[in-house]
Structure 1
């Protein structure tokens, strides 16, 4: 970003990270405005059986965003992307669960909502030069390649490059992450010194823009329960019942409705056609260890893809970097060989690739072996 004054639209979520992002940009002398996006409607989406007296968490966040805007002296806009979120994020989320895969909606929310629908609106309707978000990540322009790079955030405990791995050159070109070089405690300290209302507000958790829910109960609104048998994969014995294989993920240990066993069980496989949930005793860890996987729906951030490459991968958020060898089978398919066995690589999740602190891109895991 050039040093001269720019008009920057900040995604003001009502949290402390976006608040400090707006503050830092304003301190740098830029013209800063906030934009609050509303992406979920519990009533419209038939989520609530008893809507009386329900207070939408997003409305509470909007009230906090209004407080922040007032405290910082910036203008705040509001825009609904409910339809876009349903069409491009949530429908895919449900379809993947119906196929017995485990998707990551935060990644697609970033790809299609925050850095697409939001970006388009900010550029075209609010005359923005850039947008800014409160993610712990960084953007760098590489003079040698004349391309933008996505880098990990300086705070290794909060780095969110994993969730941004589906962004492309055009999106990174207009994006700023003001807190990417800060740690979470540093962000909190700034907010406390400013006496912002959100200085000690709890970080948001749960599904992107939907928030914390009882996950199984939430899914039953969209995928009806289909009880079946839980089977020990080693002995082939039926040891319990499940609510529906869609509701469980590989490696899951809690909420299996199994009790009275000396050692806990965890999910190792699902047979959708037969409606069987396969589990293994925790002493049978080998059922979850994998060395290879296939990945498609590839987003490679650099323009040129390598034929093959030794790099690192994360198969879930906050997982340590795992050394891998990747081979491009086609522009949209990668074979991944891990240099050590990895536990619970899960269909539908993202494999995100790195070279040192640079995020190279990602794709969806389609086969594990």
Structure 2
């Protein structure tokens, strides 16, 4: 019998992934990573629901305490980034270093298993011509999570299974009800786990970063207002600035060194290009010449045409066919060829 370790967060998606594989005859072992205490999935509340699902399916349930790993790789990473005026994206970092990596390691070393599965909406293919595993968009484009998985290595892709990749979200709910899963009607997670656990990103950051009053200025240096910490702002932000102006103003720059929030009009936060670091080439080997692709610079942004120019030290320059709004250092840029993820990395700077 084939054995697979299924990562269970306590949500409906991972529950259905486990149920599908169990129904297909796999020897399924549920594995929950204890990331932090609190409400929501990935927390103590999620572990209880995951344990209930394993009991319902009649499969073993393992819990691994990796709170220290989560603290170092996600919490400290976020706090450090916000403190210097960038807006880090924790999800791709979490998937590689906190979830998939430790899951595969635990499965291999402790459970004698080479395969893991999760409830992510994405697909994996294999290109025999190049010998590379490919990361592909999910069939349900509204739920597609390939953007957050761009940093997975070839080894992690080879070990992973995404049972929901060919399904629509409505099918997931239907199957959960057909199997009578306890999580069938559980509300979907809408925010980052840290936001769910703390109530808001502001509340989370305020636990680690003390208020530091400074000036809100325009691009000429004129003082327009005051702020209580650059970590409360992000590039492109319009609402919540607390200043009056004749025209809409957006955050253009976060100057952590001088503790200033710089604002301007929409044209001043629209950029023709940016540089991206910590690049991982997924479905293709790193090219030696520029390639044309489509890129997403945020999870919910529409893919737009771009030229990807390889640089040294795992970096690229992205030159957009048309300037893009709100290019935000710390966020991920992920480029595609249709439904295939070519690569991705972290935005370093724009302009």
CA contact (8 A) 1:40 1:210 kept: no
> Could you tell me which of 6, 27, 34 is aligned with 1:10?
6
SS in 1 for 2:196: coil
1:218-257 map, 5 Å: 218-233=204-219, 236-257=221-242
Instruction: Quote the residue 1:328 is aligned against.
Output: 310
Deviation at 1:230, TM superposition (A): 1.5
- Confirm whether residue 24 of structure 1 aligns to residue 20 of structure 2: yes
Instruction: Quote the residue 1:285 is aligned against.
Output: 266
> Could you tell me which of 173, 188, 211 is aligned with 1:188?
173
From the superposition, tell whether residues 337 and 56 of structure 1 become closer, same or farther in structure 2 (CA, over 3 Å).
Answer: closer
Instruction: Quote the residue 1:145 is aligned against.
Output: 130
Give unmatched runs, 5+ long, in structure 1.
Answer: 43-54
SS in 2 for 1:211: helix
| Structure-2 separation of matches of 1:358 and 1:56 | 31
Give unmatched runs, 5+ long, in structure 2.
Answer: none
CA contact (8 A) 2:40 2:196 kept: no
Instruction: Quote the residue 1:45 is aligned against.
Output: none
Deviation at 1:28, TM superposition (A): 1.3
Instruction: Quote the residue 1:272 is aligned against.
Output: 256
CA contact (8 A) 2:147 2:299 kept: yes
Deviation at 1:164, TM superposition (A): 0.3
Alpha-carbon deviations, 1:186-243, whole Å to 9, x = none? 1011112222221111122333466352222210211111011212336x43232211
Alpha-carbon deviations, 1:47-86, whole Å to 9, x = none? xxxxxxxx68622211111221122221111111111112
**Cα RMSD (Å):** 1.8
* TM-score scaled by length of structure 1: 0.90
| Structure-1 separation of matches of 2:260 and 2:313 | 35
SS in 2 for 1:95: helix
Runs of 4+ residues over 3 Å off in structure 1: 260-265
Instruction: Quote the residue 2:49 is aligned against.
Output: 64
> Could you tell me which of 34, 37, 42 is aligned with 2:33?
37
| Structure-1 separation of matches of 2:158 and 2:193 | 24
Number of corresponding residues: 348
- Confirm whether residue 306 of structure 1 aligns to residue 287 of structure 2: yes
SS in 2 for 1:8: strand
From the superposition, tell whether residues 166 and 56 of structure 1 become closer, same or farther in structure 2 (CA, over 3 Å).
Answer: closer
| Structure-2 separation of matches of 1:151 and 1:319 | 17
